[in-house]
Amino acid sequence: MKDKRYDGYRSFQYLEPGVDYKHFDLVDQIGRVAPYVYPVDEAQETRTRRLVRDNLVISLHDHCFVAPKDLARFMEFRRHGRDWTGYEGLAHAGLDAVFDNLMDGTAMITSRGGWKWDDVIYDIGIRLSDLAHQDMVFLATTTGDIRAAKEDGRVAFVISIEGAAMIENELDRIDILYGLGVRCLGIAYSEGNALGAGLREPRDGGLTVFGRQAVRRMNRLGMAIDVSHAGDQTSLDTIEASEQPVFVTHSGARALWDSRRLKPDDVLRACAEKGGVIGIEAAPHTTITRQRPTHSIESFMEHFEYCAELVGIDHVTFGPDALYGDHVGLHTALTEQLSIGASRGTLEYPRVEYVEGLENPTESFPNIVRWLVAHGYSDEDIVKVVGGNTMRVLDHVWAR
């Protein structure tokens, strides 16, 4: 893939490790595991490179931070509040824009539970301070920024947050988040909050009165809404209440694997009927299927094809939910914090150490495009699903 204009900057290099912040050994952004290239012939690889070079490529959901090598120290690492952005990896990812979800519920500078207002604001501010010291990745708040990133050989960084617990019962906090650059906000993560139910809740009472007020405020501001982790009824209510299309930024089809982390057909259809877009998820052990219970790019793309057949190619994209580090290890370390158990289905499946070909943000989209090329998708459809569909929604939803 054509590289971005990377000058070698590494996070917080303007500070002195061990003096200004506590040093942690981080994983390698490239080569942590054996690199994987989806098998295509020479002509298909040439076509893949052309499609990535000439068209907008947007990840609807990722976490482009670099994890520590020693995950036993992850909570300590997070309490220091600094996330290293994977600039080196992003330089080779083929991405023009990424919806980066920071560290959401694991921002625990002041609390053990996460999702606190002070922690989220701290998380945003420290990340933006680091971004401000380099030029390749920049905060994007408009669709014009995303198009400019393509033209300039840069990466548009869209701040997205997976759940709204931190706003508590304060609507104006949505405005504050918007003012700080947040352009996509989830209704709920796994636990319920003042807006509605998350997927962990045994009973889903749907979107609350306050939740409806929050949806209206996001519509007025021009902020995209995400229901990926919301309960089924809360998702349906949100889609109905919103005046604008809604995203499912990272999920898949429950019809293929019985997990609350994935969406049932009625939610997927409702999202599409409102004009929204569904991003297919690739975090380990999510988008597996009965036919392919070992998580791989093939099971991941089975969810893509199912959703495209169900709701149409105009309403599907990709939100791989990848990061730089041991994602499976992080899930193990954060099982309770991220409600991993509640997200899994009841069926048994083989565990993988990582999802080959989708292991980090650098690998994901080049391999997705290779798969689409190898499986006979037209240029028109590939352009839609790797960025065009997302831009159509953003052009409609975001404030001009």
| CA–CA separation, 106 and 112 (whole Å) | 9
Q: Where are the alpha helices (DSSP H) in 111-248?
A: 117-131, 143-152, 172-179, 209-221, 232-241
Question: Hey, CA dihedral for 289, 292, 294, 297, is it positive or negative?
Answer: negative
| Residue 1 pLDDT | 64
Closest CA to 29 of 8, 51, 13: 8
| Residue 114 pLDDT | 84
Res 399 pLDDT > 80: no
Helix or strand holding residue 269 (H, E) = helix 265-273
DSSP string of 70-119, one letter each residue = -GGGHHHHHHTT--EE-HHHHTTS--SEEEE-TTGGG--SS-SS---HHH
Strands 137-139 and 155-161: parallel
Q: Give me the amino acid identity at 60.
A: L
**Banded model confidence at residue 87, pLDDT cuts 50, 70, 90:** very high
| CA–CA separation, 225 and 230 (whole Å) | 11
| Residue 105 pLDDT | 74
Res 145 pLDDT > 80: yes
**Banded model confidence at residue 181, pLDDT cuts 50, 70, 90:** very high
Average pLDDT over residues 195-220: 96
Average pLDDT over residues 120-125: 94
Q: Which residues contact 327 (CB under 8 A, 6 or more apart)?
A: 283, 284, 354, 355, 359
Fold type of domain 42-397: TIM Barrel (3.20.20)
Res 343 pLDDT > 60: no
Q: Give me the amino acid identity at 237.
A: D
Q: For residue 252, what are its two tokens?
A: 């898949």
Helix or strand holding residue 331 (H, E) = helix 327-333
Say what the pTM is.
0.96
**Banded model confidence at residue 99, pLDDT cuts 50, 70, 90:** very high
| Residue 334 pLDDT | 75
Q: Give me the amino acid identity at 47.
A: R
Closest CA to 162 of 86, 74, 225: 225
| Residue 154 pLDDT | 98
Average pLDDT over residues 13-39: 95
Question: Hey, CA dihedral for 29, 35, 38, 44, is it positive or negative?
Answer: positive
Strands 182-186 and 247-251: unpaired
Contact 279, 262 (CB under 8 A): no
Say whether 52 sits in a helix, a strand or coil: helix
Closest CA to 114 of 78, 83, 84: 78
Res 337 pLDDT > 70: no
Q: What is the pLDDT of residues 274-310, one digit of tens each?
A: 999 999 999 999 999 999 999 999 999 999 999 999 9
| CA–CA separation, 77 and 79 (whole Å) | 6
Average pLDDT over residues 321-334: 90
- Burial of 293 per CB tally in 10 Å (0-12, 13-18, 19+): middle
Q: For residue 48, what are its two tokens?
A: 């893949």
Question: Hey, CA dihedral for 306, 162, 398, 135, is it positive or negative?
Answer: negative
| CA–CA separation, 58 and 241 (whole Å) | 27
- So where are the chain's domains? 42-397
Res 2 pLDDT > 80: no
Q: For residue 395, what are its two tokens?
A: 């052009």
Contact 119, 41 (CB under 8 A): no
| CA–CA separation, 263 and 316 (whole Å) | 13
Average pLDDT over residues 363-390: 98
Q: Give me the amino acid identity at 27.
A: V
Q: What are phi and psi of 46, to 5 degrees?
A: -60, -45
Res 361 pLDDT > 80: yes
Contact 225, 371 (CB under 8 A): no
Closest CA to 89 of 155, 45, 133, 25: 155
